[in-house]
Amino acid sequence: MRTAKRVKQKMFYATYHEGKPIYATDEQGNIIYDVMPDGKEIPRITGESPAGYDKPVEFWNSITSELTEDELKPFGNESSNMAKITFKKGEFPFVPGVLIWKTSEIGYKGDEVDETTADYRIVGVQNTGRHFYKALLAAVV
The CATH number assigned to the domain holding 85 equals: 2.40.10
In a domain, 60, yes or no: yes
Contact 45, 129 (CB under 8 A): no
In a domain, 30, yes or no: no
Q: Rounded to 5 degrees, what are φ and ψ at 22?
A: -110, 120
Count structural domains, the chain: 1
Longest CA–CA span in the chain (Å) reads: 62
Per-residue pLDDT of the chain (141 residues; tens, 9 = 90+): 455 667 899 999 999 988 778 888 999 989 999 999 999 999 998 877 777 899 999 999 998 876 655 555 555 555 567 888 989 988 999 999 999 999 999 999 888 899 999 999 999 998 887 788 889 999 897
In a domain, 47, yes or no: no
Q: Please state, in angstroms and rounded to a whole number, the distance separating the CA atoms of residues 101 and 54.
A: 14
Q: Please state, in angstroms and rounded to a whole number, the distance separating the CA atoms of residues 96 and 93.
A: 10
In a domain, 42, yes or no: no
**In terms of residue numbers, what domain contains 112?**
5-17+52-139
Contact 139, 81 (CB under 8 A): yes
In a domain, 62, yes or no: yes
In a domain, 44, yes or no: no
pLDDT at residue number 1 = 47
In a domain, 71, yes or no: yes
